[in-house]
């Protein structure tokens, strides 16, 4: 269900989902740019993308798709890997940064939930629950090794040249492949499995 239906049918739940979702995506993209900057590429910084301002990150078409179909995207943070001395290391760390950022945010939300022990029906409880859930889903989804998702770029950093060439050729069709697999429900068990792994990792870190 798209966010538009949710807005019309349940405005409060829309707010409790839309705001955490927006900032989960922003922190995801910001993490990519920040790690790239720390490794020597200032492209994102020069373009003003190292910012928490939603207008710097929201993609008009991706936002429309999110509202209508419940699947959308933000503007990818531009990274020039030629400015990073170690290409493979840069590819792995920059691509991992968004996923790690989402996992950290999910950990913080679940830690606060366990610390504050809010009731499940309270606004604070729902907000923390949705924020944790959204970040876990984003991290799991981006771990899938299909271009242009982050998982494919992490794989690219480890892969031999022939696999790298295959992934780069696949990237032009990647978006349509992902849409098709989501529509057919093929990615659902994969995302569920990855969410389970992430939740186990976070649970081990919680007090």
Catalytic residue numbers, as ranges: 29
74 three-state secondary structure: strand
- CA–CA distance, 134 with 103 (Å, rounded to integer): 10
- CA–CA distance, 68 with 26 (Å, rounded to integer): 20
- CA–CA distance, 55 with 95 (Å, rounded to integer): 22
User: If you write DSSP's letter for every residue of 11-68 in order, what string do you get?
Assistant: HHHHHHHHHHHHHHHHHHHHHHHHHHHHTT--HHHHTT-SS--GGGTB-HHHHHHHHH
Task: Say which DSSP state 185 is in.
Answer: T
Contact in structure between 198 and 133 (CB atoms under 8 Å): no
- Range 1-23 burial, b when 16+ CB lie within 10 A, else e: eebeebeeeeeeebebbbebbbb
For 139: left if phi > 0, alpha if psi spans -120 to 50, otherwise beta; the answer is alpha
């Amino acid at each position: 269900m798209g966010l538009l239906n949710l807005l019309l049918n349940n405005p409060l739940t829309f707010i409790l989902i839309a705001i955490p979702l927006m900032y989960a995506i922003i922190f995801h993209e910001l993490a990519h740019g920040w790690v790239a900057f720390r490794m020597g590429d200032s492209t994102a910084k020069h373009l003003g993308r190292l910012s928490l301002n939603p207008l710097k990150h929201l993609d008009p078409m991706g936002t429309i798709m999110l509202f209508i179909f419940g699947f959308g995207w933000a503007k990818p943070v531009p990274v020039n890997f030629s400015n990073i001395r170690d290409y493979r290391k840069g590819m792995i760390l920059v691509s991992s940064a968004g996923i790690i950022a989402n996992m950290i945010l999910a950990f913080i939300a679940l830690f606060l939930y366990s610390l504050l022990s809010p009731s499940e029906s309270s606004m604070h409880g729902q907000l923390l629950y949705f924020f944790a859930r959204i970040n876990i889903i984003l991290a799991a989804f981006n771990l899938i090794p299909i271009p242009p998702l982050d998982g494919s770029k992490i794989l690219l950093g480890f892969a031999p040249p022939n696999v790298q060439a295959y992934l780069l050729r696949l990237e032009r069709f990647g978006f349509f492949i992902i849409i098709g697999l989501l529509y057919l429900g093929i990615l659902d068990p994969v995302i569920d499995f990855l969410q389970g792994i992430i939740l186990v990792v976070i649970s081990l870190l919680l007090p």
